[in-house]
Amino acid sequence: MAGMIKGPALFLAQFAGDEAPFNSLQGIVEWAASLGYKGVQIPTFDGRLFDLERAASSQDYCDEVKGICAAAGVEITELSTHLQGQLIAVNPAYDTAFDAFAPDAAKGNPKARQAWAVEQLKMAAIASRRLGLSETVSFSGALAFPYLYPWPQRPPGLIEEAFDELARRWLPIFDAYSEQGVRIGFELHPGEDLFDGATWEMFLDRVKGHEAACINYDPSHFLLQQLDYLAFIDLYHDRINAFHVKDAEFRPDGRQGVYSGYQPWTQRAGRFRSLGDGQVDFGAIFSKLTQYGYDSWAVLEWECCLKSPEQGAAEGAPFIARHLIEVTGKAFDDFAGGDTDTAALHQMLGIS
């Protein structure tokens, strides 16, 4: 068994803003540290906090970023490329919506948008290495997701071709990450082609089990799908390289279930909630991850349809801290044990 899970840490994406202290890296990490966070996950797509291109080309800049965080008393846990990863694969149905994540020069041009995203991902690998990080988190993108429900009937081979193409697009990126000694943890998330264990297996098989392909474990998305999020850890713990601590609740009724009837977040059967306000059994999750030797960061991703981000962040740090498990160095019943005595063992077993 490895060491204990590290934390608490905070994903900064949902807290960045145009007002101080949320509009600069120094301001936001000092704020996070004041709430008790020991680590921060940095979104590479928010120029107010981080300059990805500069980080990929300048060790001095990376040292400056590390220094700002260290001065505040926090470590960098991972770099996030969620929005760029989304653009690696975009079904035409989502072109207009996801153009919002692309630079102006690539809007309306899917090939240019994808090429830009690939370069962004590769820069994040280099930047991570310069920062001394071995893990990153991202999204996979989606080609097949509009065909999630099999009606009208999907033509034979549609899903297979979608996953073949997804693998073709990611393999060169994985190779670039391996060259830097960095891995990518995909947040398995509806809207992405990788959203559960079955889709993960389909993808991992096609990338031939690439060492850089990992999972950013987030139980909130599994609870809303009614997937067994504890059994998921049993199945895939060897690929979990990051952990988003996010809560959710599922309250089906006579009007709606998993699909939630196109309702706004507050009226959906499945809703994201602040830590402790939902239904996720984090005691069991931290226990199981610790059992399997996960010793990287527990990172709060705040998304709640009711509570303010400031309150969610303030409550999140002590919530995570309470769930961290200091791994024991001895068995609880050691006091009743004794030295091995082969003769005594034989006598107990009736072996002559």
CATH number of the domain enclosing 345: 3.20.20.150
- What are the pLDDT tens digits along the chain (352 aa)? 567 999 999 999 999 999 999 999 999 999 999 999 999 999 999 999 999 999 999 999 999 999 999 999 999 999 999 999 999 999 999 999 999 999 999 999 999 999 999 999 999 999 999 999 999 999 999 999 999 999 999 999 999 999 999 999 999 999 999 999 999 999 999 999 999 999 999 999 999 999 999 999 999 999 999 999 999 999 999 999 999 999 999 999 999 999 999 999 999 999 999 999 999 999 999 999 999 999 999 999 999 999 999 999 999 999 999 999 998 877 767 766 778 899 999 999 999 8
Asked if residue 1 belongs to a domain, the reply is no
Which amino acid would we find at residue 12? Answer: L
Q: Is residue 264 part of a domain?
A: yes
In a domain, 38, yes or no: yes
Q: Kindly state the tokens that stand for 189.
A: 């998330």
Q: For residue 3, what pLDDT is reported?
A: 79
**What Cα–Cα distance (Å) separates residue 336 from each residue in 33, 157, 232, 339, 340?**
44, 61, 35, 11, 13
C-alpha distances (whole Å) from 84 to each of 57, 186, 296, 308 are: 18, 12, 23, 27
Tell me the residue length of the chain. Answer: 352
**What domain count does the chain have?**
1
Q: Are 286 and 323 in contact (CB under 8 A)?
A: yes
Find where tokens 């527990």 sit. Answer: 298
What confidence score (pLDDT) does residue 330 get? 75
Q: What is the pLDDT of residue 335?
A: 67
Q: Report pTM.
A: 0.95
Inside any domain, residue 47: yes
What residue numbers bound the domain in which 303 lies?
A: 6-349
Establish whether the linkage from the previous residue to 8 is cis, with ω within 30° of 0. yes
Which pLDDT belongs to residue 1?
Answer: 55
**Confidence (pLDDT) at 339:** 84
**For residue 138, is it within any domain?**
yes
Q: Are 78 and 114 in contact (CB under 8 A)?
A: no
